Amino acid sequence: MTIDNLSHVLPLSADSTDQGLLQIGGCDVKSLANQYGTPLYIYDVQSIRELAMNWVQAFADAYPDSEVLYASKAYISRPFARLLSELDLSFDAVSEGEIEVLSAANVDLSRVYFHGNNKTPPEIYRSMQLGVGRIVLDGFDEIDTVAQIADDLGITQPVLLRVSPGVDAHTHEKTTTGILDSKFGLPIETGLAELAISKIIEKPALSFRGLHMHLGSPIFDLEPYKLGIEVLAEFIDEICIKKLGVSVEEFSPGGGFATAYRDSDDPPAPKEYAKIICKTLIDEAEKRNFSLPHITLEPGRSIAARSGIAVYTVGNRKEVPGIRTYVSVDGGMSDNIRPALYDSIYEVIAAERVNDPVEEKVTIAGKYCESGDLLAKDVDVPRLISGELIAIPSSGAYQLAMSSNYNLAYRPAVILVENGQSRLMQRREKAEDLMRLDID
Ligand code: LLP
């Protein structure tokens, strides 16, 4: 497989040397692996910037008043946050930890939206003390808690309400969120969303700004966004405005925008998502005669995934005649749980000889003590030799973010590359990191 056949999954700056060595950001992966070790996560600055700006541009072209929030849960660290805030993006955060990292990166916290189906009172307190711009309420107890803390701090907290439109976005069952049977969002259908808004508007310490929905992730179809927005538009018109007398100044259709993991994946472009989202909202607002809200979009995966690539060193090989050949690498489910959790499928590249012909089908196994620790099943590769490098593209989202110390693995080093230069973004963990919490 040549890199030309992988143009949907590789970082935008990907190239190869005449010798067939994969290059990202003008740096060859062999030299990077020598310098930083493997497993290694490489983020391409050009991709981060261009993919993020594609979202900003697509919505700026399709709607008068939009704001793109990067969904920090896909991957965040201080340097990564700085890169995105330099591009003038805002942020979605789901924990005190993410908010602390954004704060330490000097992100303007008034541009942070705090989500989550069960934010704890200390998290809420800390977020409000730091001045997060919006809290996206997702439960009745939380309405009381946020109002109480706002009172204590002597502030009025702007809030949105996360509602569930009852729309199935046909994602993996573990990542679908907009249906009735979900822990996320107050359902419109059962009347809970209406009840929550009546409760919010009774609280002087809360300023109701609008509604949020998020249908799931990754969503390859455009239709669910249209259906969800239609449900919300009816709710805005009939319940919020006509029945409760509140206006909806802000609206978020969430994130969940798809990215390619296999080169054959063909996700819609940002401008296609922008078109369906903005057109549906504009048409509904016109039909129902309400003014257009400020909209916020929350892409995470569609910025981070393709910007990042994971590099591993090949180790043991085991042939089970007539059944399968296992090629083990020096990482696995501790840095990428997605194949084990969602049966996610990835491309695999022989990173030092990208132009070599396919010779066999192998299964790339991780090194951790679990049979399900397989990174890629039955992939076509040249005959892989112990000591050589493989690369797995589209590795920038929800891999490091969901990484663990299972088997007391050290989390990998993470680097940024651009214009032939590399720099460490997060160093590899070492033994003392694993013991830093022990009380001995
Ligand atoms: N907004 C909200 C409210 C969300 O819950 C999420 C993702 C996003 C935005 C960003 O979605 P994105 O644009 O990144 O698809 N661990 C799973 C994905 C879980 C997504 C959780 N919420 C995975 O590895 O596929």
Q: Report the residue among 73, 112, 295 best suited for mutation to probe ligand 1: largest number of ligand atoms under 8 A from its CB.
A: 73
Domain that holds residue 126: 115-299
Residue range 360-391, pLDDT digits in tens: 999 999 999 999 999 999 999 999 999 999 99
Q: How many domains does the chain have?
A: 2
- Among residues 299, 331, 355, the one where a domain terminates is 299
Cα distances (angstroms) measured from residue 417 to each of 19, 225, 266: 21, 35, 26
- 27 is known as an active-site residue: no
Does the residue 76 lie in any domain? no
Q: Is it the case that residue 104 has pLDDT exceeding 80?
A: yes
Same domain assignment for residues 141 and 159: yes
- How much distance in Å is there from the Cα of 104 to the middle of ligand 1? 23
User: What pTM value is reported for the model?
Assistant: 0.97
Same domain assignment for residues 240 and 350: no
CA dist 59 and 257 (Å) reads 13
Q: What is the DSSP letter of 219?
A: B
CATH number assigned to the domain comprising residue 140? 3.20.20.10
With a 6 A CB cut-off, is 175 part of the ligand 1 pocket?
yes
At 378 the pLDDT is 97
Q: Left, alpha or beta for 162 (phi > 0: left; psi -120 to 50: alpha)?
A: beta
CA dist 382 and 164 (Å) reads 47
Per-residue pLDDT band at 1 (split at 50, 70, 90)? low
Per-residue pLDDT band at 345 (split at 50, 70, 90)? very high
CATH number assigned to the domain comprising residue 24? 2.40.37.10
Does the residue 66 lie in any domain? no
CA dist 27 and 418 (Å) reads 8
| Phi, then psi, of 344 in degrees rounded to 5 | -65, 145
159 vs 7: which has the higher pLDDT: 159
Same domain assignment for residues 338 and 383: yes
Same domain assignment for residues 274 and 131: yes
Q: Report the residue among 75, 95, 170, 217 best suited for mutation to probe ligand 1: largest number of ligand atoms under 8 A from its CB.
A: 217
Residue range 42-89, pLDDT digits in tens: 999 999 999 999 999 999 999 999 999 999 999 999 999 999 999 999
- Among residues 264, 283, 299, the one where a domain terminates is 299
Ligand 1, atom 5: closest residue by C-alpha: 214
User: What is the position in ligand 1's atom list of the atom closest to the CA of 214?
Assistant: 3
CA dist 333 and 399 (Å) reads 9
